[in-house]
Amino acid sequence: MPPSARWGSWRWHFRRRRRPTSTRRVISTAVGWAIRSRPEQHVDVPEIDIATTVERLAAGAAIVDVRQPDEYAAGHVPGAPLVPLAEVPERVAEFPSEGEVLIICRSGARSARAAEFLRTQGIDAVNVAGGTMAWIEAGHEVATGDGLGA
């Protein structure tokens, strides 16, 4: 094979390389698969809208945000602590075991996965449909920052 042909295939090889995947995406995907890989433990997750969320928060329900820290810092429901989806299985002991726990994310997909997992652990978790996007769209107040203080 002439050197030019080998050089061409070598150059093609480098163009075909994929970008490295972020650690956050790998962990989030792995947690999602782990949560969904137990069909025998599948449970139905109740889902509530924003108006019902406001009522339940006023009645004393807890709320937890399962987005990533940068999303949380950009805007979150006031008083909602952050537990990223990838950390939910290892931090399950931090969730209240008594009473209802509302789970929120950006649009409702990640929170549904987290709520399903938490319900298999005996926690009364409820998914907030529409997530933080629906919360903001409804005109409710949002807090910014990481929640850890200055």
Residues with Cβ within 8 Å of residue 144, at least 6 apart in sequence: 73, 74, 75, 76
Q: Is the dihedral of CA 9, 11, 15, 20 positive or negative?
A: positive
Query: Coil, strand, or helix at residue 38?
Result: coil
Separation in Å, CA 11 to CA 3, 18, 50, 119: 12, 14, 53, 51
Amino acid at 147: G
Task: Pick left, alpha or beta for residue 122 (phi over 0 → left; psi -120 to 50 → alpha; otherwise beta).
Answer: left
Give the integer Cα–Cα distance in Å for 144 and 44: 32
Catalytic residues: 105
